[in-house]
Amino acid sequence: MFSFNEADILPLGNKPAPRLFLLGAGAMAEAFIRGIVRKGALQPEQIYVLNRSRGQRLMELQEEYGVVPAKSLIDAADAAVVVLAVKPADAAQALDELRPYLHGQLLISFAAGLSTEWLLEAIGNQAAVVRTMPNLPVAVESGVTAVAFAEHVTHKDRLLARFLLEQVGAVVEMEESLLDAATAFSGSGPGFVCYFLEAMEESARRLGFDEETARALLLHTVAGTAKVLLDWQLSPEILRRRVTSPRGTTHAGLQVFEQSGLKTFVNEALQAAAARSAEMGKQFKTKDRPKD
């Protein structure tokens, strides 16, 4: 576990400052920029962003957040932190082009399925590598990012990576071998939660609620329950037991879940998602390696 040490990350926020360079200007890059700028972790003019071809997109990001459209990859050479925010299939080419401008910076990769080993090989070991798996709620600064560091990443770089990623939500560090599972769990989690909520919403309509009322009851129930679990640091099982009176309404509903084998289905769904994540990751271990 790392403790937050302001002195370790402050130099990034002081001018003249090393900069953050984002390679890729899509949805994920924007979520990261939004969190960092809104929270004031960096000045917008310290953040450079470059994509492949859509100049207009860079202008939009500049207008919205005040960040700097990079003129070329040369700007990455001055950055303390470089973020890889391209699709996994585009990563080999992007890193091949980026490699000459790396000289020991911290490289944070958002690319799903690309291992730290693969990344290090792609950049000729020219940066300290952090592999991450953020999830959708980072777009509203309430995400969770699973993180695995390559070997030999310094304590200071780890703090720096965590500090930046924490601007868009929680950060959970783990062994890299668990990142495929995290992709299935917290990465696909919003989709799974939505599927359950969809079923609850459909049922609410059958109970007589209009759409608007059902949605309000549903979302506040979910957000409130998550907040109670976080604030009171309870396990879902303990809270579930606390809110279930014998022969009460919750008990009646839970009995149906229990009899239907819901937990078995949930387990099977997560296993399937994790297997798919591992399978997708494997394709990048065997092809698309950048040429030397």
Ligand X SMILES: NC(=O)c1ccc[n+]([C@@H]2O[C@H](COP(=O)([O-])OP(=O)(O)OC[C@H]3O[C@@H](n4cnc5c(N)ncnc54)[C@H](OP(=O)(O)O)[C@@H]3O)[C@@H](O)[C@H]2O)c1
Q: Could you list the residues that contact ligand X (CB under 6 A)?
A: 23-29, 50-54, 57, 85-88, 90, 93-94, 110-112, 134, 136
111 is in an annotated binding site: no
Cβ atoms of residues 153 and 129 within 8 Å:
yes
Minimum Å distance from CB 88 to ligand X? 5
**Residues in CB range of 100: below 8 A, 6 or more apart:** 73
Question: Would you say 147 or 204 has its CB closer to ligand X?
Answer: 147
SS (H, E, C) 75-132: HHHHEEEEEECCCHHHHHHHHHHHHHHCCCEEEEECCCCCCHHHHHHHCCCCEEEEEE
146 marked ligand binding residue = no
CB of 125 to ligand X, least distance (A): 20
Task: Indicate the DSSP class of residue 22.
Answer: E
The smaller minimum CB distance to ligand X, of residues 86 and 274, is found at 86
Question: Do 83 and 32 meet the contact criterion of CB atoms below 8 Å apart?
Answer: yes
Tokens of 110: 């958002």
Locate 284 and state its tokens: 């990048």
27 is an annotated ligand-binding site residue = yes
Q: Which two tokens stand for residue 220?
A: 């506040």
Q: Is 87 annotated as a binding residue?
A: yes
Report the nearest approach of ligand X to the CB of residue 28 (Å). 3
Whether 25 has a binding-site annotation, put simply, is yes
Q: How far is the CB of 100 from ligand X (least distance, A)?
A: 14
The distance in angstroms from the start CA to the end CA of the chain is 37
The residue at minimum Cβ distance from ligand X is 26
Identity at 140, one-letter amino acid code? V
84 vs 289: CA distance, rounded Å:
16
Q: Residue 16, preceding bond cis, omega within 30 degrees?
A: yes
Q: Pick the closer one to ligand X by CB: 78 or 244.
A: 78
Closer Cβ to ligand X, 136 or 171, answer by number: 136
User: What is the rounded distance in angstroms from the CA atom of residue 224 to the CA atom of residue 232?
Assistant: 12
Check whether 85 is labelled as a binding-site residue.
Answer: yes
Whether residue 23 is annotated as binding a ligand: the answer is yes
Decide whether 8 or 113 has the Cβ nearer to ligand X. Answer: 113
- Provide, rounded to whole angstroms, the least separation between the CB of residue 104 and ligand X: 21
Give min distance, CB of 27 to ligand X, in A. 4
Nearest to ligand X of 8, 116 (CB atom): 116
Enumerate the known binding-site residues for NADP(+). Answer: 23-28, 85-88
Enumerate the known binding-site residues. Answer: 23-28, 85-88
